Structure 1
Amino acid sequence: MANASITLQISTLPDSPGVYQYYDKDDKLLYVGKAKNLKKRVSSYFTKNFDNNKTRVLVKKIATIKHIVVETETDALLLENNLIKNYQPRYNVLLKDDKSYPWICIKNERFPRVFSTRQVIRDGSEYYGPYTSMKTVHILMDLIRGLYPLRTCNYDLSKKNIKEGKFKVCLEYHLGNCLGPCEGLFSEKDYMENIDAIRNIIKGNFKNSLNKFKGQMKRLAEDLKFEEAQRIKEKIDVLENYQSKSTVVNPRINNVDVFSIIADESFAYVNFLQISHGAIIRSHTLELKKKLDESDEDLLLLGIVEMRQRFNSLSKEIYVPFEVDLGEDVKVHVPKLGDKKQILDLSERNAKYFRMERFKQTKIVDPERHEKRIMAQMKKDLRLSEEPRHIECFDNSNIQGSNPVAACVVFKNGKPSKKDYRKFNIKTVVGPDDFASMEEVVYRRYKRLLDEEQPLPQLIIIDGGKGQLSSALKSLDRLGLRGKIAIIGIAKRLEELFYPDDPIPLYLDKKSETLKIIQQLRNEAHRFGITFHRSKRSKQALDTELETIPGVGEKTIITLLGHFKSKKRIASASFEELADIVGESRAKKLVQHFSEK
């Protein structure tokens, strides 16, 4: 319950959209949030029981509540984003923006220069971007320079200066990279036509340039100027090649922003694609570090507002994986099929690839963070009450009913702990009965751990479906452990996860890390069990063959195996070597048996 001071502060809050700010007793900003109804939203923090421990701690620290009323929910979203960026409150999602991005500038001057820059100067020049990498800018600038000769000098090319002949053409003119506007050799009208074409290319519209070049090539060919026509054809090839690489969907999809989100327990990754004339002209993935139990909707909204501001996007239409409210000025579309769904899927793949790259870096730079994240994700995916730091997996092995054995493998903190692996010979079950065998080994394993007061696992995995799981549960019941250890069964064919008393299996995403760890456990248990089973069968086959030799008993077999280690070495040993170990009489019988064979 809220104290008297907090209750009084809440009572003064309006029923309007706005942004609220929580401060601690030292007047330090703890958290910024948005609401369509300030009083209702803030009150919920002090009346609701939160599952998330961090949220409970936050509520205990709140001493002062401040608020800012705005006109609409969209205004609240924008204000919240800016306050989070400016103040980085401890309990808000962490937004990183620690770099300046490159732009392409068309300079506000006569015969404009076109160049890349990280500095935006408000002098009437046109700036396109920002771009997410300098590599993209270099590729685009190389394309522009290859298609259109532009000046690179910073002379004041006024009509007066050109008329008075103040400048002379430079090396760029002689190399064919500039057409000499400084000496009046290239008209301003033709130069500005090139600038218009460059604007279109930067925006992803290649149609006008292609049509213009194709027309030029045709006219030159008709005038029998084949060398010049070939040079124009080369430009067409360059432009079409660039277009084919950047065009991913229907060219009619124009001026659209696409957003997708991939989230785990600790982080969210929001990908942004900007589409113009069917071409991707910008792609960026934003990493959001969670602080409380933020929903995917809140994180996606935050990512959309941040990246539209950061990259100066004014698109009136966006594609997203689920409905979000961005106000009346933006049309939100949730594609279900066709070209629009294809581009949304591409955005999601970009987010997944970015996340995978971050995981690779995390494993090297901060393995503890990676481990904590995996454990938290498994807890969430498998609906567990605690993180499965200690997992044990059981597998039965009996081939054609012979030599039934079982294996138990152990993972600690998501990794194999081979010193804790255990193998079992089935003792109480006659014949191939997997259910009874599972019941036996699970009982033996945890009876021993209880007797020796060893730590129990947080999760048991049974390699098998409902039947195997039921058998294991009988043993946990007998030991009084049911409900104290989480237990699930994994069916081989469809990777279904079965829970006690739940007839409907759980299906995890086939690419999820949780499923991958469970599969690794299952495969490791199978490998360990099969290895033990083969070893036992081999030993039995060896024992059986030696026992068939008249005059060779159990003691002799043990002596021979203790010295020679294998049947192959016994078979290839000389009479003298065998006689030294088991005497001449038995040695003769052994040599005779193996020579006849």
Structure 2
Amino acid sequence: MPTRSDATSADQPAEFDSKAFLKQLTERPGVYRMYDSAGQVLYVGKARNLRKRVGSYFRKTGLAPKTAALVSRIHQIEVTVTGSETEALLLEQNLIKSERPPYNILLRDDKSYPYIYLSSHHDYPSLTFRRGRTRKGLGTWFGPYPSSGAVKESLNILQKIFRIRDCSESYFRNRTRPCLQYQIGRCTGPCVGYISEEDYRADVRHATMFLEGKNPAIIRDLMDSMEKAAANLEFEKAAACRDQINHLRHVQEQQAIDSEGGDADVVALAQDAGVVCVVVIIVRGGRVLGTKDYFPRFSLEQNEEELLSAFLGQFYFGSETRREIPRDILVSVLPEGHELLSEALSEQAGRETRIRRNVRGERRKWLELAETNARQTLLTHLASKETVYRRFLALRDLLDLPETPGRLECFDISHSHGENTVASCVVFDENGPLKSDYRLYNIEGITGGDDYAAMQQVLTRRYRRMVNGEGKRPDLVLIDGGKGQLRVAREVFEELGIRDIPLIGVAKGVTRKAGMEQLIDALTDRVFRVPPDSPALHLIQHIRDESHRFAITGHRARRDKKRRQSSLEGIEGVGPKRRRDLIRYFGSVRTLRDASIDEIAKVQGISKVLAEAIHAALHDE
């Protein structure tokens, strides 16, 4: 049976460690849920930046009494990453309605989400505000949107641009002269025949295309007007155009949290440092209701396809409580024997159930959401204080150290065909990654591609300062590499007179497969392997992978700086024109980085596939 990572799990610390939790928490938008020691949800909230928002609860001063009472009861926090802040808001409201947490404000009227309604069956359709979607009428619904205020303000702007009526049918039929909306330029006067039905339909068609996100021409026109006004020093007019652009972008934003898509379970798997995390997102009636995460045990011989197959079998058939089986099960990888598993699930459910990997539209968004949350939840688990401490104890026993190491340092080298060589030094302590002590070293004066010389330079620079009393002393040093790199490290230590710090090389095995690493002791030259399920090996894998990631990130930054590239340069398919259009549309790279894939794809010339590549490149951590 998979093990739920809930508050009663043995993998969780007895007391919530906010410092360790915040260190690994993402800065992307999402929803957070706070639980007490009994596993009951206390509070549900949304955030544009999860790390900053959750971190605000744990500041030392300035908390309101109610907030302080909430914080004192927190035993666990779970997060769900979303594509945008608006999606986070909608998911937050879904969870508040279903969980009814005691520290949230619960609306007694339980209002539905606001929509924009187009009465398209009428000769002269109206564009109006509606709360709650119904099946009555022959009109077109757009939404849902996060707040009624945003919809009403956006409708005002749309009426300024397209001049479509917003009056009721009885009011429209009984007019003999134009109303105030016509006088102030927000209606074309169809009630008194001031516009032909054909021209009015053209305005309606343009408004519909814009609300569906298919025609960004209006935004481009407003951008032209804004730039022209700014050039003519008409700054108030330029500011008004800027505000209109911002509102129009907001109203056209598509929602992945609430849409038509039926029922589905979305299952994604993430694996790192000997730990597997499986996240299940529950979607019912096209609405994301919540997520659950699991940490199943597995053997080294199992690949992701086999592991997911075993998990799904246990998830749907191994529970004493019969689980609801939806029509669609969306997966990050196709499980082994998925056709047979689909048949068994269909028989259990009494109708067809499909296991699918290649999906489009809203289902693709759900799957991407699950994959993102699987990675984030795995990082949270790996950063758990108790998990890290257990691994440090195992490492002490593995290497037969006299005391549990308190500080580990790991080194790696990164370059592109010998150019822009960068070395990384990553530090772990009993709380996990100590990012404030991470260091990058620009390597100069060596032959391009000579990793041995690069390793010698970085170790000499780092530990010469330590010998002179300027740096902290590690309890164990790890070198990402084989016997050659370790030999260089040993020579540096001998030259500097360092004899009491253990030095271990981490070499990939013959198969270069995770779990098959070989450890090399610099003092004895002994080469040995560690069981793949060893917590000590998981700690070594974690710091080695983090060192590799940090080295690559530093190398890319140095390469881009040398080439004077922006963060958009180097993305395949994004040339000077597309970079200019992206910056022109969003205003800055920062705003672009906060945008969802669907928003990026609205820029002229940017396809959905290219938008995904841009989004991934800007969020490459």
Q: TM-score, normalized by length of structure 1?
A: 0.33
| Bigger RCO of structures 1 and 2 (CA < 8 A, at least 6 apart) | 2
Q: TM-score, normalized by length of structure 2?
A: 0.32
